[in-house]
Structure formats: structure tokens, C-alpha cells
């Protein structure tokens, strides 16, 4: 499945300004079903072609990019975040409202991105492949944002389409939580990412 965006998929800056309110509303509604809270402070925001198109359009708008090279650079940066039919891709965020709580938690959660998993039915858990573009954890702390990829086997994808459960969790020593059962709308939205 080739879902990569090209320049032909993007609106010009002028046209995007005109369509932005409706497009933004549609994307935000779409994103609602693509969020999975794992415990009180961690959320997976699953990406797909539409969410990434919105992100690229917003970056082009904010940075006022209209030259071909700049547009291609944005596409090159964001296209890897679109699922390719055999995986789910997510932006993983650690969210704390208080600055001091966030600072302390990020110091305690080093390597958490390697402890995020999904499990399809009775299959073995699949741990995320994290931050393929650059490492976001150090010995002292982790980042509040990570980019994850969950590679699912053909058997797992078939099991999901046949109705198997889909669960996400984190088994870090300092943060051990599992998400509640996904709502049908969320499960259906994520299944559309798979071939």
C-alpha cells in the first residue's frame, strides 16, 4: 500500500487558507477516534495519510513555504509517519500539566519508548520501534514526544480483521499501564491502516 503524499496532494497556500477551517474541523474529528490513552499521562496519537497531510499543510502555512524544494523537504520529513499497510504508526506523548511534575517524570521514564507495546488477541505483544529519525532519550531523561511504529505480522492483521482484540500498554518499571478496550470507532479507524 503506497499512501505517501506528493506535491499533487497538497493545496497551494492560498487555497489552503480558504479551505482551512473546514479541513481542520474534519481532521480534528478524524483524530478523535485515533487517540489511545495508556494510563493517566501517556497518549498514542495514531497517524495516517489525512493526519500527516494536515501536519504538512500546517507546516507549510506556518513557515510560509511555497518553493518546490521546501515542500519536498516537508514531504520527506513527514511521509515516513504514514502507515504502509503492515504497521500502525503513532506520535507518543507524555503529558503532564505541571512543569515540575513533567521534569521529574521525564527523568524517571528514560527508555519508556521501548516499553510501549500492542497485543493482538492471543499473539505475543509487539513492542514499538521508536524514534527511527533520531534518539530522543538520554541517560538523564526521555523526551515528552516519541514517534513509534508497530509492525504487525500478516497473521496478526488477519486476526484483527476477524475480530481479535487490540490492546496497547506500557511496561516500564516506573509506568506500567494498559489502555482500556478500544471503542469500536477507534478500532475501526486503526484497522483501515492495515492491508
Are 63 and 123 members of one domain?
A: no
Q: 142 exposed, middle or buried (CB, 10 Å; 0-12, 13-18, 19+)?
A: buried
pLDDT, mean of residues 53-61:
95
Least confident of 60-69, 86-95, 169-178: 60-69
Return the sign of the alpha-carbon dihedral for residues 90, 96, 102, 104. Answer: negative
Q: Is the pLDDT of residue 17 over 80?
A: yes
Nearest to 60 by CA among 7, 113, 104, 103: 7
Q: How many domains does the chain have?
A: 2
Are 191 and 132 members of one domain?
A: yes
pLDDT of residue 3: 84
Are 54 and 67 members of one domain?
A: yes
Are 89 and 140 members of one domain?
A: yes
Are 69 and 8 members of one domain?
A: yes
Are 66 and 105 members of one domain?
A: no
pLDDT of residue 72: 94
pLDDT, mean of residues 11-19:
94
Q: For residue range 59-71, list pLDDT tens digits in order.
A: 999 999 889 999 9
Q: Is residue 38 part of a domain?
A: no
Q: Give the domain extent around 75.
A: 1-32+49-82
Are 177 and 115 members of one domain?
A: yes
Note the pTM of the prediction, 2 decimals.
Answer: 0.92
Are 14 and 70 members of one domain?
A: yes
Q: Is residue 77 part of a domain?
A: yes
Q: Is residue 39 part of a domain?
A: no
pLDDT of residue 141: 85
Q: Is residue 145 part of a domain?
A: yes
Residue 136 DSSP label: -
Burial 165-190 (b: 16+ CB within 10 A, else e): ebbbbbebeebeeebeebeeebeebb
pLDDT of residue 95: 95
Distances (CA, A) of 112 to 33, 35, 130, 157: 24, 18, 10, 25
Are 111 and 182 members of one domain?
A: yes
Q: For residue range 110-146, list pLDDT tens digits in order.
A: 999 999 999 999 999 999 999 877 666 766 789 999 9
Amino acid at each position: 500500500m503506497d499512501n505517501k503524499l506528493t506535491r499533487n496532494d497538497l493545496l497551494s497556500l492560498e487555497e489552503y487558507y480558504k479551505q482551512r477551517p473546514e479541513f481542520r474541523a474534519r481532521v480534528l474529528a478524524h483524530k478523535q477516534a485515533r487517540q489511545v490513552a495508556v494510563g493517566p499521562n501517556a497518549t498514542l496519537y495514531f497517524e495516517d495519510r489525512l493526519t500527516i497531510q494536515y501536519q504538512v499543510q500546517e507546516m507549510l502555512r506556518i513557515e510560509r513555504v511555497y518553493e518546490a524544494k521546501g515542500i519536498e523537504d516537508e514531504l520527506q520529513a513527514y511521509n515516513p509517519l504514514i502507515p504502509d499497510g503492515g504497521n500502525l504508526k503513532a506520535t507518543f506523548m507524555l503529558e503532564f500539566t505541571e512543569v515540575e511534575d513533567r521534569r521529574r517524570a521525564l527523568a524517571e521514564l528514560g527508555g519508556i519508548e521501548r516499553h510501549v507495546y500492542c497485543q493482538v488477541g492471543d499473539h505475543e505483544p509487539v513492542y514499538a520501534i521508536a524514534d527511527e529519525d533520531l534518539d530522543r532519550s538520554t541517560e538523564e531523561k526521555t523526551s515528552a514526544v516519541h514517534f513509534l511504529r508497530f509492525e504487525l505480522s500478516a497473521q496478526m492483521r488477519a486476526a484483527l480483521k476477524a475480530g481479535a482484540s487490540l490492546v496497547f500498554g506500557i511496561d516500564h518499571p516506573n509506568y506500567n499501564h494498559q489502555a482500556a478496550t478500544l471503542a469500536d470507532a477507534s478500532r475501526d479507524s486503526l484497522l483501515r491502516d492495515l492491508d
